Structure 1
Amino acid sequence: MQKIILLVTSLTISTWSAQAQAPPPSTQHANTRFEQLGPILPTPNTFRTASGAPGKDYFQNRADYDIKATLDDTNQKITASETITYHNNSTDALPYIWLQVDQNLFKPDATGRTSQTNSISAERGSSFQQLGAMTALNDKDYGQKITSVRDQAGKPIKYTINQTMMRIDLPQPLAPGKSVTFSIDWNFKIVDVKSVGARSGFEFFPKDGNYVYEIAQWFPRLCAYSDVTGWQNKQFLGQGEFTLIFGNYKVALTVPNDHVVGATGELQNPAQILTPTQQKRWNEAKGRGDKPGENPVQIVTQAEAEAAEKAKPGDVKGTKTWIYKADNVRDFAFASSRKFIWDALQPNVEGKRVWAMSLYPKEANPLWGQYSTRLVAHTLRSYSSRTIAYPYPVAYSVHGPVGGMEYPMISFNGARPEPDGTYSEGTKNFLISVVIHEVGHNFFPMIVNSDERQWSWMDEGLNSFLEGLACLEWDADFPAHGIDPQYIVPYMQLDSTQQVSIMSSSDNIPRNTFGPNAYTKPATALNILRETVMGRELFDYAFKEYARRWAFKSPEPADFFRTLEDASGVDLDWFWKGWFFGVQPVDQSLVKVDWFQANSQNPEITKAEARKAAQQRLNTISKQRDALSKDETVVAQDSSMRDFYNRYDPYAVTDEDRKKYQDYLASLSAEERLLAEAGTNFYTLSLKNKGGIPMPVIVRMEFEDGTDSVARFPAEIWRFNDVSIKKVIATPKKVKQWTLDPYYEIADINTEDNTFPPTPQPTRFQLFKQQRQGGGAAGPNPMQQQRQQSPAKQGTGRN
């Protein structure tokens, strides 16, 4: 090869020398960016291994609950008692145990409600909703009222309540491998979700005077005790969610006679609760949901729900007790109302029939009747295919005041049509995404049981990623922007002082950036791993392995990072550093492109090119003007002034030129001769990493013949210099346009410097009449507009 192209050799040497300079300038961080996370992650041990799998000594404690609760529909109050059996599977003796009493968040003096964590800014002001919430909390006696804590023999046990945490002091330490049983009686007033801004509570409907209850975080429940944190007893401040442990539940819910209830677990006494008609419909729904267009069976119809809501709280005499049993779950929630419509399917999910059901008032129709339960079934199938088969017997979607919140086997979801039954496309899309998202939480964190109080991204981010894939499996045209790299760009464009890393504790993430930080940035990062860094096959296998390893266990971030690398064989430490531990953006720039061609030594080519170059150099403005009088020159008028050189063509190909070229070709190997005769173009791309996060380099080449091609280089291209690099690309075709990140894969925050030659973009300006019109109301949604245009085709609204 050395004999062919001296130019190529020089290119190689210059590129190598540019990358191999030592030591690199202080502005470069390539060595640290591509070093292993090492000391940043916890040291592997017998509880959690270096591969990311649970170790031989991994443990988790558990708590089993027997709960009896009564819903007071007249006073919006719950009175309850529970018997808890707590199992100590750790190697430690526990002198006390901690429980969460989350309803204390709504006490006026709760840390999560005081000015330290929920302030009103004098500069920015506050909304009526914020002020109303504070007033509502001050006016009511909210909080968990503990009336009794007793041991198995009925003797009082000493306890201490610290805000949203409750410590029970045991008579003697609970030894490893032992269990303790105790009981608690309590009551609390249910909060108005919309007034207070809560994750659970009630909604009041003035038109019919009834309530929809979505009840969660309602019973004293065990904190987690683990090898990582010991007791996870960080206070509940409202943002960081819940750190819980698994157990078996038996719950008896006593509600007004005409209420319909949905809850975590399987209903144990349907014959005593359901009417014969409802039981018949229940049986009709069994096995339905596998065929396209197979609609849910209404166990309680809209007409029946409308008839029931004619009663008011206190009108109905008598109660019913709905009994539920749930095994190996980390929490329990329920919903209750006389307003509920109830529909159901029982699709096949990975070889097992699972109840997919929805509860919703008439105000949610027609949107909910058409979509909700079908979405539940779709979500269970989609997530099961990417993680583990859904292990529980049922999954509910409930419509009420909570916009979106998740619990084992039941989720509370928003999205309500207009009173006339129409809805915007945004409302429809929100329903689709929120049902998929909240039902999807059954997998993260209800099964893969991460510490939500500490790491929001481990459930919200992973779940948002799967939500995006499930939405696209629902509708290929769905705007799944939560995983699309270009839609995280505005957040990553923020100044670093306005961001915190994904690896920040949940309660330390600013509220105004909590969504992009905990949801969309990690979801986008996972999508980039899947599509650009690892590829779908490697990523899908590794992600499923993570779910399999940690199903019904409690992983930490290091377990996730290590498992994805262990199962895929891809070193991702540089990626975790950039996307999860840092706040720098992605910003690549294509500074310039230098074009070289190998000197083939073919005289037919080299002399033709030399002639063309000489003609271009001589085509000056003076030469163009002098050509008009060239016939007046001495040589032109006196032929005797001409000699050999007036007739000599230095660019003509001679026999000697041809012979030398043939001798040169004869000295080459077949491989060398092929390269020499190919006329290959060599382009040196000068690239800069202006943002900080090293990412793969994706370059689109548009050729002069109208075709194109994409070259991809891994992020390791930056490992010796993470500030600027040069890359040589060889191609037989001439490139007329170069574009970095042509398919918006890496969340580049500035694409204006991604083309070469630069592609100018016009700055658009708006033309207005002399007086610009002011803004007004958004106006009717498209469904309403259509009805206005075609009044004869109007329907009856909700059905």
Structure 2
Amino acid sequence: MKRIFTGILFVMGTVGASFAQDIQNNPGSNHGNKFEQLGTILNTPNEQRTASGAPGVKYWQQRADYNIKCELDEKNLMLKGSETVTYFNNSPDVLTYIWLQLDENEHSSTNNSGYQSSSTMPKQTTLQGIDRTEVRNSDADNGLGDIITKLTDGTGKKLAYTINKTMMRIELPVPLKSGQQFIFNIDWNYKITDRNTVGGRGGYEFFPGDGNYLFTMTQWYPRLCVYSDFQGWQNHQFTGRGEFALTFGNFHVQMTVPADHVIGATGECLNYAAVLSPAKLALYNKAKTSTAPVEIVTLADAKKAEGAPSAAKKTWVFQANNVRDFAWGSSRKFVWDAMGQNVAGKPVMCMSFYGKEAYNLYSKYSTRLVAHTIKSYSDFSINYPYPVAQSVEASNGMEYPMICFNYGRTEKDGTYSESTKNGMIGVIIHEVGHNFFPMIVNSDERQWSWMDEGLNSFVEYLTEELWDNKFPSKKGAAYTIVDYMKLPKNELEPIMSNSENIVRFGPNAYTKPATGLNILRETIMGRKLFDYAFKEYAKRWAFKHPTPADLFRTMEDASGEDLDWFWRGWFYGTDPVDISLDSVKVGKADLLDTYNQPKRTVFTPKIAPPSVNSFEDISKIRNRTDKSIVFQTDKDTATHDFYWKYARGLAGVDTVKFANLVKAQTPPVFETDVPTADDKAKYGSKYAYQLNFSNKGGLVMPIIVEFKYTDGTTYTDRIPVQIWRLNEKNCSKFYVLDKEVASIKLDPMRETADIDETNNFWGKSGEPSKFQVFKQKVGANGPARGQSSGVNPMQVATGSK
């Protein structure tokens, strides 16, 4: 609300605030850049992709259907397969060749991507580390990667092909015209690698304690690259970092494995009646309507299978429609539980697979988290469309349609640390959430990692917050990105960078975009506008291939907000937020009897009560005060464990409320008169303040000002970002208040990722609180990822230590 005095002069005095050098980010001008439209930075709208951000009337995308048969040779650690692929050319173009991905060549010493980074001699390493270095520095073939044994067309004629590192080009016998399809057959095999020594997303893990394996079969079959309207063939090699751009299609997959193995896979199993006993099948059917996990394969079953491996084989058959990939896990170690979750009237089977090493965590949380995640993501984006969602414990963290691999293991005594539990909750939500981004809203992860990881990390943050209001989310809240944003420019790159060229991958691809979206939602747009636009983006691009421009344009188109300034600064630049309160001018009203000018009656907004303690971000506070939100751990008391109670202390659940600022909406009343005695009495007690700000970081952002009055009450004003539009370096705001101000603080809830809080204060306010950020390190020979290690409070409380 604007507060305007007429008929009043102010006698001003300057009260000093800290001054700092004005950083000239654009020496030629102080305006006209940061608020300009993105223009030609974005791709030109066309009939495939419109200026509104929606798919155009001539949008198209390719399709590939797979019929795959494979066999897992556990003794020799080999996977052998054959597949028939039907490729549909829905593009307007004539194709003379097609490209496939051979991702397993990542491990080959001769056919890997060839990308190398600078390296140094380590102070200490492992024998395996020496072996890997020797192989990389030699021309010897380590025998890993895809071996193609046969390639023919649908009639059995041989096809010519060329393997270039992690990609394979098939020469088409005749050009493939628009609207036509091409069928080919390919046979292949490869040696399965040890994930914990060789690395990578798929492979095996060996458990020496019981002599068994856990297999995660991912990127395991030759698969089509994307051919799109915006880049033609996606031709970035697979280096192990940048993930996958894939074509939608239908999968029919038959997997032959040891008879005592249990398989979790993309899609629905078509032959449970053949691979499960009648008793196990009955438990599976019971789980469909259960509101709590039902163990189909129990812990006792799994331990029994571990001790007596079977020499027989079974074939499991799965069908998955309209998916971009297929993955599976297989082991005799698996406990298997399941429960149903209703999403928009449709049942979804939520399931988990895990070994005894994770039992005390996964049996309690994993399937419940799967159900919570698909329901929460559905509320924020689109309704989950698939019949199955699964979590597999594999000391890993990787996602595929309807299935993901996660970590979270306990001590041998079954206890676990709070960090292990919270890490497991976070990774399950994150990886299950990838079903939406990018498994359904199918961006090119190889080119724009943030459209996969960043968007998903943002909705992960929202989902974690709805799981438990006490959950310590590591990304999303603005203050969590500050340490990254304040790094020297030579250590940063824009979010809009190719995946392989990012130095600090986690903050750049995950945390910064997630934080930016949360700032848009909480501070710039508001939840209502943001949520509507974000859902519109998900609806428009479900089962399609969006680009960044499609997201940017849709968010503006559906909200009525011009956000080009935000995309330009946050996604295309590396400038941080550093808004300084340079000085404050203080004045008192001097009402002059001879000064006759129209004046307005001024309305003072209601003063909000104190907000919250400084350790909680604004999302937590708003969620807690939103009566429509019931946190999952409050709804399901079975999720309560030692740490749920531990986090709440003796006082129990925190029920502190934060009231939103209410501004008066009464229109001003105009009068023309000389000030009266009543006017003097009324306005002579007013306090006037001019706040002078400078933009030292370079990234424009709304200014949030908290006034603390001498009587102890507070008032917060939110100044829109457009205050910077005519001068991107300096601005000021004039206030007339009923009370005397004791101190002023910028960004009191740490909403804007301001990197320097020391210049955010005026008056007697205290110094900003400090908080510690650390990175957990695990040695080369340390525990598996997500393995609880060391004495934990749970052991002390339960007396096991």
Shift of 1:422: 1.3
C-alpha distance 65-24 of structure 1, shift in aligned 2 (>3 A) = closer
Report the CA distance between 1:506 and its aligned residue. 0.7
Distance in 2, Cα, partners of 1:132 & 1:306 = 34
After superposition, where does 1:62-101 map in structure 2 within 5 Å?
62-101=63-102
- SS of residue paired to 1:721: coil
User: 1:39 deviation in Å?
Assistant: 1.2
Is 1:327 paired with 2:328?
no
Aligned residue-pair number: 692
SS of residue in 1 equivalent to 2:757: coil
Matched, 1:521 2:512: yes
1:230-309 correspondence runs (5 A):
230-289=232-291, 295-309=292-306
Paired with 1:118 and 1:334, the residues of 2 have a C-alpha distance of: 31
- Find the partner of 2:373 among 347, 370, 379: 379
Q: In structure 2, what is the equivalent of residue 636 of structure 1?
A: none
Gaps of 5+ in 2: 14-23, 595-670, 771-787
1:92 CA displacement: 0.2
Counterparts of residues 574-653 of structure 1 (less than 5 Å): 574-601=565-592
Return the alpha-carbon distance in structure 2 between the equivalents of residues 404 and 334 of structure 1. Answer: 14
1:436, 1:471 within 8 Å by CA — same for their partners in 2? yes
Q: 1:384 to 1:760 in 2, by over 3 A?
A: closer
Write the deviation string for residues 328-371 of structure 1: whole angstroms up to 9, x where unpaired. 00000000001100000011112110000000011111011110
Superposition deviation, residue 671 in structure 1: 14
Aligned partner of 2:359 in structure 1 is 365
Say whether residues 1:541 and 2:532 are aligned partners: yes
Structure having the higher helix fraction is 1
- Which structure is larger by alpha-carbon Rg, 1 or 2? 1
- Partners of 2:581 and 2:28 in 1: CA distance: 19
What is the CA distance between 1:667 and its match in structure 2? Answer: 3.8
Alignment of 1:109-258 (within 5 A): 109-112=110-113, 116-122=115-121, 130-131=129-130, 133-134=132-133, 140-258=142-260
Q: Is the 8 A contact 2:7 2:675 kept in 1?
A: no
In the TM superposition, residue 319 of structure 1 has moved relative to its aligned partner by 0.9
Equivalent residue of 2:32, what SS? helix
Distance in 2 separating the partners of 1:441 and 1:666: 63
Flag structure 1 segments of 5+ consecutive residues without an equivalent: 12-22, 290-294, 604-664, 765-776, 795-799
Tell me, in whole angstroms, the C-alpha distance in 1 between the residues paired with 2:227 and 2:123: 41
C-alpha separation in 2, matches of 1:763 and 1:311: 58
Q: State how far apart, in whole Å, the 2-side matches of 1:502 and 1:527 are.
A: 15
* Correspondence for 2:34: 33
Q: Counterpart of 1:213 in 2: which secondary structure?
A: strand
1:644 maps to none
Partner of 1:781: 792
Residues 227-284 of structure 1 show CA distances to partners (whole Å, capped at 9, x for unaligned) of 1110002111111100101000000001111110010000001111110110110121
Letter in 1 for 2:404: S
Q: What is the CA–CA distance in structure 1 between the aligned matches of 2:456 and 2:500, rounded to whole Å?
A: 19
Change over 3 Å in CA distance of 1:136–1:365 after alignment to 2: farther
Aligned 8 A contact 1:27 1:723 in 2: no
Inter-partner Cα distance in structure 1 for 2:355 and 2:584: 63
**Residues 762 and 667 (structure 1), Cα distance of their counterparts in 2 relative to 1, 3 Å cut:** closer
The CA distance in 2 between the partners of 1:308 and 1:118, in whole Å, is 44
Partner residue, 1:696: 702
**1:136–1:196 Cα contact (<8 Å) kept:** no
Contact 1:696 1:713 in 2 (8 A): yes
Question: 1:427 & 1:749 partners in 2: Cα distance?
Answer: 30
| 2:550 corresponds to 1:559 | yes
Q: Which residue of 1 aligns with 2:493?
A: 500
2:706 alignment partner AA? R
Please state how far the C-alpha of 1:7 moved relative to its aligned partner: 3.5
Aligned twin of 2:7: 4
| CA 1:526–1:322: 2 relative to 1, 3 Å | same
- Which residue type is aligned with residue 180 of structure 1? F
Cα distance, 1:228–1:674 mapped onto 2, change above 3 Å? farther
Compared CA separation, residues 148 and 697, structure 1 to 2 (3 A):
same
The CA deviation at 1:399 is 0.8
**SS state at 1:503 partner:** coil
Residues in 1 aligned to 2:6 and 2:51: alpha-carbon distance in whole angstroms: 51
Q: Is the 8 A contact 1:61 1:88 kept in 2?
A: yes
SS in 2 for 1:457: helix
Pick closer, same or farther for the CA change 1:538–1:101 going to 2, 3 Å: same
Q: How does 1:649-664 map to 2 (within 5 A)?
A: none
- Secondary structure, in 3 states, of the residue corresponding to 2:314? strand
Q: Does 1:475 align with 2:474?
A: no
Output aligned runs, 1:10-29, within 5 Å. Answer: 26=27, 28-29=29-30
Tell me how far apart the structure 2 counterparts of residues 727 and 25 of structure 1 sit (CA, whole Å): 23
Following superposition, the deviation at residue 542 of structure 1 comes to: 0.4
Spell out, residue by residue over 1:300-334, the C-alpha distance to the aligned partner (whole angstroms, 9 max, x if none).
Answer: 0000000001134xxx2321110000000000000
Q: Which residue of 2 aligns with 1:388?
A: 382
SS at structure 2 position matched to 1:483: coil
SS in 2 for 1:332: coil
The aligned amino acid for 2:52 is: S
Question: Residue type matched to 1:742 in 2?
Answer: P
The 1-side partners of 2:263 and 2:26 are apart by: 67
Aligned partners of 1:297, 1:564: CA distance in 2, in Å?
Answer: 41
Residue type at the aligned position of 1:259: H
Deviations 1:84-137 (A, max 9, x none): 00000000000000000101111013444x5x5244224888677644554688
Distance 2:156 2:187 in 1: 12
**Distance apart, 1:757 and its partner CA:** 2.1
Q: Give the secondary-structure state (helix, strand or coil) at the position aligned to 1:143.
A: coil
Where 1:85 maps in the other structure, the secondary structure is: strand
The reply on whether 1:684 has 2:690 as its aligned counterpart is yes
8 Å CA contact 2:382–2:535 kept in 1: the answer is yes
User: AA paired with 2:463?
Assistant: A
TM-score by length of structure 2 reads 0.83
Paired with 2:204 and 2:428, the residues of 1 have a C-alpha distance of 19
CA distance in structure 2 between the partners assigned to 1:441 and 1:671 by the alignment: 68
Which 10-residue stretch deviates more, 413-422 or 528-537? 413-422
Amino acid aligned to 1:463 = N
1:448 and 1:5 map into 2 onto residues whose CA distance is 58
The residue type paired with residue 743 of structure 2 is: Q
Partner of 2:455: 462
CA distance 1:124–1:751, shift in 2 (3 Å): farther
AA of the residue aligned to 1:120: S
Cα distance in 2 for partners of 1:712, 1:484 equals: 18
Is residue 415 of structure 1 aligned with residue 408 of structure 2? yes
The corresponding residue for 1:719 is: 725
Q: What's 2:737 paired with?
A: 731
Moved more, 754-763 or 190-199: 754-763
SS of the aligned residue for 1:347 comes to: strand
User: For 2:368 and 2:132, how far apart are their aligned partners in 1?
Assistant: 35
Distance 2:405 2:25 in 1: 55
Provide the C-alpha distance between the structure 2 equivalents of 1:26 and 1:758, rounded to a whole number of angstroms. 35
Matched, 1:310 2:307: yes
Q: CA RMSD in A?
A: 2.6
Tell me the TM-score normalised to structure 1 length.
0.83
Contact residue 678 and residue 732 of structure 1 kept, 8 A: no
**Residues 671, 400 of structure 1: alpha-carbon distance in 2 compared, 3 angstrom cutoff:** farther
Aligned to 1:770: none
Determine what percentage of the aligned residue pairs are the same residue: 53
Q: What is the alpha-carbon distance in structure 1 between the residues aligned to residue 206 and residue 156 of structure 2?
A: 39
Provide Cα deviations, 1:491-532, integer angstroms capped at 9, x if missing partner: 11110100111000111112xx10000000000000000000
Distance 1:719 1:434, change over 3 A: same
Contact kept, 8 Å, 1:600 with 1:679, in 2: the verdict is no
Aligned pair in 2 of structure 1 residues 222, 3: CA closer, same or farther (>3 Å)?
Answer: closer
